[in-house]
Amino acid sequence: MAQTAELFRPTSIDRLAEMLRTASDDGRSVGIRGAGSKETWGGVGAPVDAVLSTRGLDRIVEHAAGDLVITVEAGVALADVQRTVAAAGQWLALDPPEPGATVGGVVATAASGPRRLRYGTPRDLLIGITVVLADGTVAKSGGKVVKNVAGYDLGKLFTGSFGTLGVIAECTFRLHPRQPALRAVSTPTHDPAERFAEVLATGGEPAAAEWDGTTLTTVFESIEAAADEQAERAILAIGGQLSDAVPPGFGARPWDATSVGLKVTHRLGATSDAIAAVRSATPNARLRVAAGSGVVLAGVGADDLGALDSLRKSIAALDGQVVVASAPEEAKRDVDVWGPVRGLPVMQRIKEQFDPDGRMCPGRFVVQP
């Protein structure tokens, strides 16, 4: 984003709307920023005239503990949501690792962590949304009840849209009861897919499983007796060390701000093939494999991006896609960050309906401004 962009920090949705209305009248392009924990994600943004910080939208609007629902403004940190609902023995079942990340940023980037295995990703837990469009129009869809099919689900479209359809101003989420016990089984293996299948064959239902290149960590979360028994059965099946905490680095991204992160998806039955393809294209990749979820995260160097096309070819054969999830700007300037996109013309038409002047977060996503 351009250094000279003005920074706005509205403290209410009304003010946010007015700010966007004015920006619209002036024809100014707008970037959106939460905690800034994922600035290296997505496409290289074009320079913008104004940057909108959501940090002033910091109210926890309502925690309906008995209904397992929370409504928060977009600038609230996910960690603050977790602190708020923990008092009621609940949690918002999203565990992306970026420190300080705001709810709005997590939803806008569809960020997920290892517990997606059991709970899914932001799209699965978001039940209502208030958005502000480029021209300042404020609209909501969904509601405050989990089960609701009235009207189109704008929350789905805005989840993972990288700000290109408008600003996510407020979100309502379904919460889950926090399980009292955690048991992690760490098993050294070179074949995580096979080991994980053996765990599932025991009838256990892990909340998460992650392989870091040498060790498969399988996490059970339940009431104490059931977490114990599932872990014991897993150890009987595949061996490993038992712990009541996840190992250090569990769920961390295998990249940092200066390296390149690839997100490789694949059909669930092709985990081994996907790992082999990544290792063959980028032999020095650091891996985080969400076993059972169909996602391989790889940390590589900028030089490795030369192998992107050939990796995309092998991954396409596994029904998957390769995205440059995170990279320094200079590393991805000449790279197709997203790769081929199925249904792109329809997405472009959606973009043109919501932001006809192409002023919202230009360049950050698959669509043209």
Partner 1 sequence: MTALAELTSACLARLKGSQVITEPAELRTYECDGLSSYRSTPGLVVLADSTDDVGYVVAQCAALNVPFVARGSGTGLSGGALPRTDGVLIVTSRLNRIVRLEPDDERAVVEPGVINANLTAAAAPHGFYYAPDPSSQQVCSIGGNVAENSGGAHCLKYGFTAHHVTGLEVVLPDGSTERFGGTAPDPVGYDVVGALVGSEGTLGVVTEATVRLLRTPQAVQTVLAAFRTIEAAGDAVSAIISAGVLPAAIELMDALAIEAAEAAVHPGYPAGAGAVLIVELDGPRCEVEAQLADVERLCGEAGAFEQRIAADAAERGLIWKGRKSAFAAVGRISPDYIVQDGVIPRTALADVLQAIDEVAGEAGLRVANVFHAGDGNLHPLVLFDEAKGQTERAEEVSNRIIELCLDHGGSITGEHGVGHDKVVHMGKMFSAVDLDVMQLVRCAFDPQGISNPGKIFPTPRLCGERPGKRSGVHPLQQAGIAEVF
Question: What's the min distance (Å) between Cβ of 45 and partner 1?
Answer: 17
Among positions 67-96, residues that touch partner 1 (CB under 8 A) are 67-69, 89
For partner 1, the closer CB: 99 or 345:
345
Looking at 31-39, 156-164, 246-254, 298-306, which segment touches partner 1 (CB under 8 A)? 156-164
- Cα(first)–Cα(last) distance of the chain, in Å? 15
**Residue tagged 């390296």 (tokens):** 259
Retrieve residue 356's tokens.
């006809």
Q: Whose Cβ is closer to partner 1: residue 1's or residue 165's?
A: 165
Half-sphere exposure of 253 (CA within 13 A, CB side): 24
Answer yes or no whether residue 176 interacts with partner 1 by CB under 8 A. Answer: yes
Residues numbered 187 to 216 that lie near partner 1 (CB under 8 A) are 200, 203-205
Interacting span for partner 1 (CB under 8 A) from 72-80, 99-107, 142-150, 276-284: 142-150
In this structure, how many other beta carbons lie within 10 angstroms of the beta carbon of residue 255?
22
Subset of residues 274 to 303 that bind partner 1, contact rule: CB under 8 A = 293-295
- Asked whether position 248 contacts partner 1 by CB under 8 A, the answer is no
* Site membership for partner 1, residue 152 (CB under 8 A): yes
Q: Does 61 sit near partner 1 (CB under 8 A)?
A: no
Using rule CB under 8 A, residue 366 touches partner 1: yes
Nearer to partner 1, 307 or 350 (CB): 350
Give the residue, chosen from 100, 177, 239, 283, that forms a contact with partner 1 under the rule CB under 8 A: 177
Question: Does the footprint of partner 1 cover residue 357 (CB under 8 A)?
Answer: no
Strand-strand pairing, 208-211 and 215-222: antiparallel
Residue 357 DSSP label: T
Distance CA(288)–CA(174), nearest Å, equals 27
Q: Using the minimum distance from each CB to partner 1, give the nearer residue, 102 or 222.
A: 222
Q: Which segment (35-43, 101-109, 299-307, 348-356) binds partner 1 by CB under 8 A?
A: 348-356
Least spacing, CB of residue 96 vs partner 1, in Å = 13
Q: Are strands 50-53 and 60-64 parallel, antiparallel or unpaired?
A: unpaired
d(CA 90, CA 335): 42
Of 269, 303, 263, 264, the closest CA to residue 283 belongs to 303
Q: How do strand 30-33 and strand 50-53 relate by DSSP bridges?
A: parallel
CA angle 107, 253, 163 (to 5 degrees): 25
Q: Is 28 left (phi over 0), alpha (psi -120 to 50) or beta?
A: beta
Binding mask 7-36 for partner 1 (x = CB under 8 A): xxxxx---xx-xx-xx--x-----------
Scanning the structure block, which residue is given the tokens 């609701």? 148
| Least distance in angstroms from the C-beta of 19 to partner 1 | 5
- Is residue 345 a contact residue for partner 1 (CB under 8 A)? yes
Contact flag: residue 141 with partner 1 (CB under 8 A)? yes
> What is the separation of C-alpha 334 from the centre of its chain, rounded to a whole number of angstroms?
24
